[in-house]
Chains A and B, each alone.
Chain A
């Protein structure tokens, strides 16, 4: 996927040299380019450290492992470019997975279960969006509250136990043309998010609101309905992520999605989005997700203890964000960004 939602390149008189290239790419584009370079280096180092890393099986495995995170990161990208955030999507994914499992075990057809669960996800998103728009409460804290509520519901529904699900493997365990189904779903979702941001009114309005909310209001954009629509989409994608997770694992855990929302935020910020909104791209998010996935995978292959994996992943997030910030400063010092 190319930088589908970065700014169009500037035409007119074009100076040459690396600075001019950065200027043409824009702040988002040059961040994505730098991140791609980092990813290449990490892949090279990984393949030197582990023989199994650069095998088809392992790489497909990586895509399967990052798929759920990828779906949630797509939702987070849409929200974050508009200046919003939703911390409840991880909990929403677990709740939806749990409910789907109950429905499937209670003789509901897969279609019914999927539709019901996606509807629930959209309902949760609608409530989040309405509450944020009506009250003006900061989304970070409001969705933190929703997260706790949804976690509570999941635990109550299952008595805090994992529910095994049979006969629901097509979404998570199957493959399409050799590619794991979760990866196919995540790819479609991320492509759709990219197209949405680039070509639809909703996507452009989201970027406009994140870039300058007051100017967007004065320009006549219906700020409230745009925000609500974005939270509804995020809820639907959270439900989808929950379904993929249940299908892949073959069981629904009430804590299955816990923490994924923060990993998604990390991936999106690594991908160059600004927490303040107005900046970010799905291309960057994809690279952020893959980078996190590759690092986890390599540490697994090298049999590093999970405790130290956590340390390493945390360090990667911190370093990536700091260097992204430094890059932004460097560009603006030289007048290449804005």
Chain B
């Protein structure tokens, strides 16, 4: 492998407002290697990737490609320099043919006319380089997602890129398709391209990568040779990602009767996003649904809250079957959701705090008039410590943490007895986090069944009595809190167990 680095970043810093996402990162990529970029959520991986791809401008630090310093890199300049990015979702145009998609964005032809022979020739060459057997004329939309990813790889190769950034490329693929893609990634690297591979799946990383850079809290904490003499275990990667064991708050005590089953889901399946998942939620119990991004826990929450209909499987609430087609029907049976994306799914920004809190309760109530119960809203605002404590303020004027409390109040005020909380303390300050966690404990103590959907091990460890771990759409483990640790959870969710 060539000694001179192809792409080098040194001392890269990047801040967003008061938060420092990158605190002086050094990173280097060699030609012909697959270099994994690892780290927990919020470690700075995606910021680093965006800096390298020219989407973010670093506050300080330099980037050199082939020994030449890259000046102010914009997306266009990164492209011109030969840096290609492949995102989680395919960026192909489904109506256009394979050949056209490969030629997309390049000028093939002369004077505004398309040189179709050149388009087909280049397309065929790009497919051959990856050993792909696809019809050049076929519209990309008719291909499987795995083949679409392969076409994207071929396109990157045909653009003579020298650096290829892959961000969770297998996120939408099944296990076998992922294997095929990994082989194609190796072939791409064998063509001399430097590949940066971002993934939560450590088994994939061990299978495909030559080296791994581990990022944590905006710094590079470790650079590991994965193909050296000493074999690196998945457990080592997890330890490097997590750092020293931090003390995680203990979850609230189980209070009262936790026997009664509130919700029972059997064999839920949604395409390939959720496969044969069963789940039991009991009154008074807080259950964590933990997994990496896209592992299926959000899909499960959407099914249970009536936003997505399952292809197969059944749900029963309090023993009676529930076939919710809309959130309204789920809410009627007491299943309330605190969605992850509060701006898109949680709030009506033009309404005031009181009206947002009462949105669900009012939707379920009867009568013609919209009764405005200001005193009740005031009680919620006080209970959850919403600041400023004025329910007549427009909700858009509140900080993120306080908006989250409003969404929370809405779910509970609707009379929900089964609460699905998606990342309930994401983007919330420390004080609000404690308040929300205490409130969750109180609600469970009062007999609610609570499910916490999260990608953060700390979150489920701090709140849950029982933790269900999902990976690639299936349940891979179910642990009591006492058996669970950050290491164990992360190993399960990243497939490190399977990689052993």
Contact = CB atoms under 8 A, between A and B. Distances in A.
17 contacts: A11-B393, A201-B362, A201-B365, A207-B351, A208-B359, A211-B348, A211-B351, A212-B347, A214-B345, A215-B345, A215-B346, A218-B345, A220-B332, A220-B414, A222-B328, A338-B349, A338-B397
B355 A204 contact: yes
A10 interface: yes
Nearest to B389: A12
B337 interface: yes
Nearest to A213: B348
Looking at A9, A211, A219, the one whose CB has the most chain B CB atoms below 10 A away is: A219
B352 interface: yes
Looking at B349, B350, B396, B414, the one whose CB has the most chain A CB atoms below 10 A away is: B350
B363 A202 contact: no
A199 interface: yes
B331 A12 contact: no
A205 B305 contact: no
B350 A222 contact: no
A212 B348 contact: yes
B328 A220 contact: yes
Interface in A14-47: 26
B327 A220 contact: yes
A158 interface: no
A12 B390 contact: yes
Interface stretch (B215-223, B271-279, B366-374): B366-374
A218 B307 CA distance: 7
Interface in A73-116: none
A8 B328 contact: no
Contacts of B360: 219-220
A219 B411 CA distance: 8
B11 interface: no
B337 A200 contact: no
Interface string A213-228: 0111111111000000
A121 interface: no
B362 A215 contact: no
Contact of A207 (B344, B350, B410): B350
Contact of B346 (A9, A10, A218, A220): A218
Interface in A227-255: none
Interface string B317-338: 0000000001110011000010
Contact of A221 (B328, B332, B337, B347): B328
A278 interface: yes
Contacts of B359: 208, 215-216, 219-221
A202 B17 CA distance: 41
A217 B393 CA distance: 23
Nearest to B355: A204
B32 interface: no
A218 B341 CA distance: 11
Contacts of B349: 211-212, 338
B15 interface: no
Report the 9 A-B pairs with minimum CB-CB distance, sorted nearest first: A220-B363, A220-B331, A211-B348, A338-B396, A220-B328, A204-B370, A219-B359, A221-B363, A211-B350
B392 interface: yes
A200 B370 contact: yes
A203 interface: yes
Contacts of A279: 350
Contacts of B392: 8-11
B61 interface: no
Nearest to A278: B350
B4 interface: no
B128 interface: no
B393 A12 contact: yes
Nearest to A224: B326
Interface string A49-68: 00000000000000000000
A7 interface: yes
B351 A208 contact: yes
B54 interface: no
Contacts of A8: 352, 392
Nearest to A202: B368
A197 to B, nearest CB: 10
B40 to A, nearest CB: 28
Nearest to B331: A220
A224 to B, nearest CB: 9
B313 interface: no
Given A11-B390, A220-B360, A201 B367 contact: yes
Contacts of A208: 348, 351, 359
B350 A201 contact: no
A313 B364 CA distance: 45
B411 to A, nearest CB: 9
B235 interface: no
B380 to A, nearest CB: 15
Nearest to A204: B370
Interface string A267-301: 00000000000110000000000000000000000
Contacts of A217: 307, 326-327
B131 interface: no
A338 B394 contact: yes
Looking at A7, A215, A338, the one whose CB has the most chain B CB atoms below 10 A away is: A215
B355 A215 contact: no
Contacts of A219: 327, 359-360, 363, 410, 414
Looking at A7, A200, A211, A218, the one whose CB has the most chain B CB atoms below 10 A away is: A218
Nearest to A201: B370
Contacts of A202: 368
